[in-house]
Amino acid sequence: MPSLILKPNREKSLLRRHPWVFSGAVARLDGNAGMGETVDVLSATGEFLAKAAYSPNSSIRARAWGWLDTPVDADFLRLKLETAINRRLKEPVPLKGTGSLRLVHAESDGIPGLIVDRYGDVLVMQILTAGAEYWKETLADLLIELTGIKDIYERSDVEVRKLEGLELRSGALRGNPPKQVEIIENGLKFKVDIAHGHKTGFYLDQRENRHLVGQLAKDRDVLNCFSYTGGFSIHAVAGGASSVVSIDSSGEALKLGAENAALNGQASGNHEWIDGDVFQELRKFRDSRRDFDLIILDPPKFAPTRSQVNKATRAYKDINLLAFKLLRPGGVLVTYSCSGGVDAPLFQKIVAGAALDAKVDAQIIRKLSQGADHPIALNFPEGAYLKGLVCRI
């Protein structure tokens, strides 16, 4: 077995079961290992630390599969997948009975680089790392064996793969998956574009938060910014909202949003869909003195990494400030950041600064995170990417 030998005193994070080995911590590779092949990670003094997948092109040079000196093979991966899938099915609320959920959440489930989302009778796999890529066919076969689902679509068309030296790929991987499926979430129907939608097609991580927005929306005029295919909007109307305005810069997403509204029997008069840039549209509302009772801000990652934090901070501040200004007295702002580079304390600070500059007194009445099918492993705090605040003014 090839061995990755660390520099002296660089074993601490692996001993704390953090799965990443950065290139700067590596002294040398003993033996030969290709992309994604399994290596033993050893301390400078030769102590066994982990079995890991080798990523020769990435600054994350290896990702731990496990902490025991046992082989990484199909049986090993079966147990990992089985554990990930079964623990979700045992989750009583609200995952039981949900046909559409994340079955595997990469590092947070001990399977670095592998995302598996289930949309009814179709699985969508996303492979992000050399290690997961190396085992791709085995993983696909195991998923079929464990779930009984025959159709798998692959959405490995994300830029981060380039850091691993992997090509982007998208298409059918097993069976004959449809390009679009219909799912049920919190009793509502949604069309999901598996082939071309964002991520694997739908933002499953917001399921519980969309349910909450449905409960907050009764008799309110709602503004849903960065609406994508209308997840929050349709929950709001179903919850009794008087009206909902949805803004997104993707015409495709808005088109699907309107179809989703119709699919749920919602009168088109309740919905207004604006194809535009949120930063500009919020300013137009401010200038025309249009106001709302409930505003949702669910922007894309402004800071995927620490290096973009300053620019992202300004962007979050800008939209939150404008949103606070558009709220009627007693109104509620539901605001999110999914940026890895912006942690929860910083996000709260930004929102507090926005309230101050908007001259409103605001309280946090709930703190939100991603759904239970996107767990956060305590040894991998990077998994806590979605931060949400419900603020009342």
Each residue 308-347 as x (binds ligand SAH by CB under 6 A) or -, in order, gives ----------------------------------------
How far is 166 from 130, CA to CA, in rounded Å?
Answer: 7
Q: What single-letter amino acid sits at 222?
A: V
Query: Per rule CB under 6 A, is residue 190 in the interface with ligand SAH?
Result: no
* Tokens of residue 133, six digits: 């890529």
Of the two residues 231 and 331, which places its CB atom closer to ligand SAH in the complex?
231
DSSP conformation letters of 248-267? ES-HHHHHHHHHHHHHTT--
Q: What single-letter amino acid sits at 196?
A: H
Shortest CB 60 distance to ligand SAH, Å: 26
Q: Which of 242, 298, 250 is nearest to 273 (CA)?
A: 250
The residue range among 6-14, 26-34, 155-163, 224-232 that interacts with ligand SAH, by the rule CB under 6 A, is: 224-232
By DSSP bridging, strand 221-225 and strand 243-248 are parallel
Shortest CB 184 distance to ligand SAH, Å: 15
Q: Tell me which of 206, 246, 313, 370 binds ligand SAH, using CB under 6 A.
A: 206
Query: What is the size of the binding site for ligand SAH (CB under 6 A)?
Result: 20
Query: Per rule CB under 6 A, is residue 85 in the interface with ligand SAH?
Result: no
Shortest CB 99 distance to ligand SAH, Å: 17
Query: Per rule CB under 6 A, is residue 117 in the interface with ligand SAH?
Result: no
How far is 247 from 242, CA to CA, in rounded Å?
Answer: 17
Of the two residues 110 and 257, which places its CB atom closer to ligand SAH in the complex?
257
Shortest CB 210 distance to ligand SAH, Å: 6
Long-range Cβ contact pairs of 231-235 (< 8 A, separation 24 or more): 231/185, 231/190, 231/202, 231/203, 231/206, 232/206, 232/296, 232/298, 232/334, 233/257, 233/261, 233/271, 234/188, 234/190, 234/260, 234/261, 234/264, 234/266, 235/186, 235/188, 235/210, 235/211
Query: Per rule CB under 6 A, is residue 41 in the interface with ligand SAH?
Result: no
Shortest CB 206 distance to ligand SAH, Å: 4
**Footprint of ligand SAH on 231-260 (CB under 6 A):** 231-232, 247-250, 253
How far is 24 from 37, CA to CA, in rounded Å?
Answer: 20
Query: Per rule CB under 6 A, is residue 75 in the interface with ligand SAH?
Result: no
Query: Per rule CB under 6 A, is residue 203 in the interface with ligand SAH?
Result: yes
- Host H or E run for residue 8: none
Shortest CB 126 distance to ligand SAH, Å: 16
Is position 225 annotated as part of the catalytic site?
no
Give the Cβ contact number of residue 117 at 10 Å.
Answer: 25
The residue behind tokens 């699985």 is 123
Query: Per rule CB under 6 A, is residue 226 in the interface with ligand SAH?
Result: yes
Query: Per rule CB under 6 A, is residue 272 in the interface with ligand SAH?
Result: no
Residues 6+ apart with CB under 8 A from 220: 236, 241, 242, 292, 293, 294, 332
Q: Tell me which of 277, 310, 364, 378 binds ligand SAH, using CB under 6 A.
A: 277
Of the two residues 135 and 285, which places its CB atom closer to ligand SAH in the complex?
285
From the candidates 72, 312, 338, 377, give the one annotated as an active-site residue: 338
Torsion sign over Cα 258, 263, 266, 269: positive
Residue 125 DSSP SS3? strand
Residues that bind ligand SAH (CB under 6 A): 198, 203, 206, 226-229, 231-232, 247-250, 253, 277-279, 298-300
Q: What residues are annotated to the active site?
A: 338
